[in-house]
Chains A and B, each alone.
Chain A
């Protein structure tokens, strides 16, 4: 479990827009031919949409494709919590076979969402590799999974829930709320 005893308030959070630019800079060197971006709903998809614009030149140069995953059908808490009322279709409009996949999430926490996303990806085909990138690693992983690239490490207490929000103009912000149920994938 996490070693973090950090309890923060919203004013102490980093600026999501700045983090996005840091992430874009770090990601750039990973973009090569035969790479594809996959955003995990919802936050990961928002981040991907922004990255597609920020890195437009290199994405066009290497003809990098992109898709989205909603991992609802692969979550490990289905038996306890059932299916979420809102789920969206996953859309992977390219052949996953032998692709270098960059998986994009907003907040990395337990690693359970990543496991679900990887399981789903393999049902589309066998990728050459999967790299995980996230805006923030908040600590507290429960599986041997970790992001290779993050814009910031922000160890947080399990009593707090960190969420990415998107405003109507597409700009991103971070939001801290009390966590009602302890573990959340």
Chain B
């Protein structure tokens, strides 16, 4: 089968989704990221790998954190970075996505980081660009957010290296979450034996079990003895109509409080991809508590994005 993410030698060419990536590639990204963690702690927080290359952040949808971490990652690899907030630029004048891309290629862009509200936008661009140009999906619709999935697994591996012995719970708005999908694919590919999703029926995609997860509607039951709790943001802006009674009601049934956290293993870690809604899906005392690894997730996100760009940017494919 033709996988647009891999070249004929099975090397990574674009990063579009975790689905379809072999374990070997996921481990290569995670191991490389390990080497980049230390770069941020040095006197000079830069390596010369992407010197002379131009990375283009194409954000058709806002995301300050993701855009900033991609930008920092590219700069720490010595690339030149352009960040375009396309929603406020040419697209509003009627230019198509591919025309925007072609114009940037004419300006000698080497790599695109793409965020779009439509699923498949990064795939579309990847199919369109010539072979020496690489595309990274930074979130497309409800579909995929591979670097977030990777940084979450990387964070888990940092705190709980024995992935083969873990019980992981993903809690909340799975229906609207591309992050949850990427996490589930990454965790199962890397051999985590038990992934649970905890959510009301209205916030779960139909046939979610097919992804290989155990479904819980009762949070107290679902959190029992888990090693990792991954909270998701309640994406109220993507909800039309009455999927939920109110955010107060949601917090009562699915909010992570100290009492609920105590149901998990005593050394369980708490994660959140951000931005957090304090008091909606997570209590402040938990978010700021000692089991929380929410800020390390942000730090590791830079190392993961550096690893992905460094792997894509090298080799014959990168030479013009």
Q: How many residues of A contact B (CB 8 A)?
A: 25
Report if A169 contacts B (CB, 8 A).
no
Q: In the assembly, what is the distance between CA of A92 and CA of B39, in Å?
A: 11
Please tell me if the beta carbons of B35 and A82 are within 8 angstroms of each other in the complex. no
- Known A-B contacts: A73-B310, A78-B49, A120-B47. Give 16 more (CB < 8 A): A74-B47, A79-B318, A81-B315, A82-B314, A83-B32, A83-B311, A83-B314, A85-B28, A87-B31, A87-B32, A88-B34, A90-B38, A96-B43, A122-B44, A123-B42, A125-B43
Smallest Cβ-Cβ distance to A126: which chain B residue: B43
| Bound Cα distance from A87 to B39, whole angstroms | 13
A89 near B37 with CB under 8 A, answer: yes
Which residues of B31-56 are within 8 A (CB) of A? 31-32, 34-35, 37-39, 42-44, 46-49
B11 at the interface (CB under 8 A from A): yes
Q: Tell me whether A86 is interfacial, beta carbon within 8 Å.
A: yes
- The chain A residue with its CB closest to the CB of B320 is A79
- Contacting residues, chain B, for A96 (C-beta < 8 A): 43
Given the complex, which residues of B lie within 8 Å of A85, measured CB to CB? 28
Mind listing 15 A-B residue pairs with CB under 8 Å? A70-B35, A73-B310, A78-B314, A80-B315, A82-B315, A82-B316, A83-B315, A85-B28, A87-B35, A88-B35, A89-B38, A92-B42, A96-B43, A123-B44, A124-B42
Q: Is the CB of A80 within 8 A of B48?
A: no
- List the B side residues contacting A124 at CB < 8 Å: 42-44
Q: Is A91 an interface residue (CB 8 A)?
A: yes
A35 at the interface (CB under 8 A from B): no
Chain A residues closer than 8 Å to B46, beta-carbon distance: 123
Residue of B nearest to A91 (CB): B38
Chain B: interface residue total (CB-CB under 8 A): 24
Chain B residues contacting A83 (CB-CB under 8 Å) are 32, 49, 310-311, 314-315
Is A171's CB within 8 Å of the partner chain B? no
Is B103 located at the chain interface by the 8 A CB criterion? no
Residue of A nearest to B318 (CB): A79
B319 at the A interface (CB under 8 A): yes
**Shortest Cβ distance from A115 into chain B, in angstroms?**
12
On chain B, the residues within 8 Å of A82 by CB distance are: 11, 311, 314-318
Query: In residues 1-22 of chain B, which contact A (Cβ within 8 Å)?
Result: 11
Contact check, B319 vs A73: say whether CB atoms are below 8 A apart: no
B319 contacts across to A, CB distance below 8 A? 79-80
**In whole angstroms, what is the CA distance A123 to B43 when docked?**
6
Q: Which residue of B lies closest to A90 (CB)?
A: B38
**Residue contact A80 to B43, C-beta cutoff 8 Å:** no
- CB-CB under 8 A from B34, the residues of chain A are 88-89
Report whether A73 and B43 are in contact in the complex, using a CB–CB cutoff of 8 Å.
no
Asked, given contacts A123-B43, A125-B43, whether A79 binds B314 with beta carbons under 8 Å apart, the answer is: yes
* Residue A72 interfacial (CB < 8 Å): yes
Q: Taking the nearest CB of chain A, how far is it from the CB of B55, in angstroms?
A: 15
Type the 1/0 row for A80-108, where 1 means its CB is closer than 8 Å to any CB of B.
11110111111110001000000000000
A65–B177 Cα gap in the complex (Å)? 48
Q: Is A6 an interface residue (CB 8 A)?
A: no
- State how many angstroms separate the Cβ of A160 from the closest Cβ of chain B: 26
Interface residues of A in 49-91 (CB under 8 A from B): 70, 72-74, 78-83, 85-91
Identity of the chain B residue whose Cβ is nearest the Cβ of A97 in the assembled complex: B43
Chain A residues with CB under 8 A of B44: 122-124
Bound complex: CA of A86 vs CA of B35, how far in Å? 10
What is the CA–CA distance of A91 and B35 in the complex, to the nearest angstrom?
9
Q: Which residues of A contact B311 (CB under 8 A)?
A: 82-83
Question: In whole angstroms, what is the CA distance A70 to B47 when docked?
Answer: 12
Residue-wise interface mask of B (289-320) relative to A, using a CB-CB cutoff of 8 A (1 in contact, 0 not):
00000000000000000000011001111110
Measured CB to CB, the nearest residue on chain B to A72 is B35
Closest chain A residue to B35, Cβ basis: A89
Inter-chain CA distance A122–B43, complex, in Å, is 9
Residue A119, interface by CB 8 Å: yes
Least CB separation from A79: chain B residue = B319
A123 to B47, CA, bound (A): 8
Residues of A within 8 A of B318 (CB): 79, 82
Distance in Å from the Cβ of B103 to the closest Cβ of chain A? 25
Complex-state Cα separation, A101 to B48, whole angstroms? 22
Contacts of B310 in A (CB 8 A): 73, 83
- Chain A residues closer than 8 Å to B48, beta-carbon distance: 73-74, 119
CA distance A87 to B38 in the complex (A): 13
Give complex CA distance A90, B49 in Å.
16
- Within 8 Å by CB of B35, from A90, A92, A125, lies A90
